[in-house]
Amino acid sequence: MNRLLIAAAAIPFLSSVCFAQLTIGPSLTPGQTLRGRFVQARNLKGIPSTLKSDGTFVLAPGRGLIWRTEDPIHTITVITPAGIRQVINGSEVQRIEAAKVPFVAHFYDMLNGALMGDWTAMRRDFLVETTGDRGTWRTLLTPLQPTDPIAGMLVSIVITGGKMVDGVEIRRTNGDSEHIAFLDQSVSSVALSGDDARLLVDKNISPAN
């Protein structure tokens, strides 16, 4: 298991979990995609300055997530039912196959189910507490499984939004924290094409059973 890739994929994955909150407002249906931009600020224990990055994302229920960091380093992280891949400057540098690392498939199933309105798997791993209404809401996710490879790294996730997810605050057990703001979001029924479609099809690995 490549722990560096898991760590790199944790932020886009957890952000995708937060987009499951679209079930409070508009929900995504098969064939739709959610696109937007993100601005991320990370505060790491022992480092006095805030680390900032920004980029774009594409989220397609049933197919996966493309998380493109454009600044300071152009990096693409792709999460699909088949696993996690990382591409830097056009070349794939790392991957984890879901068939070989079961928790990757489990978390993808949890995310996809929530996006489609089924929170059963999500509630097995997180205590979900939501306040507010469709106009303005706040959701607190508290991990229930401290030994889980991803959830076990977290103290909490706080999601805020209205029609869409506006921001996410992630606190980790090691003292690190991240804040992600989401901008220029739109839902589309136009089929994915070009690089986005190619990135979400990985012929070299097969989805976990």
Q: What pLDDT shows up at residue 190? A: 87
Q: What's the token pair of residue 86?
A: 């990382």
Let me know: does 51 contact 179? Beta carbons within 8 Å. no
Mean pLDDT of 39-53: 92
Q: What pLDDT shows up at residue 185? A: 87
Q: What's the token pair of residue 160?
A: 């805020």
Q: How far apart are CA 62 and CA 51, in angstroms?
A: 32
Q: How far apart are CA 129 and CA 71, in angstroms?
A: 34
Q: Containing H/E element for 128?
A: strand 126-132
**Confidence grade of residue 11 (pLDDT, cut at 50, 70, 90):** low
Average pLDDT, the chain: 78
Whole-model pTM?
0.80
Domain boundaries, the chain: 3-199
Mean pLDDT of 57-68: 86
Q: What pLDDT shows up at residue 3? A: 47
In CATH, which superfamily holds the domain spanning 3-199? Lipoprotein localisation LolA/LolB/LppX (2.50.20.10)
For the cut 90, the answer to whether the pLDDT of residue 200 exceeds it is no
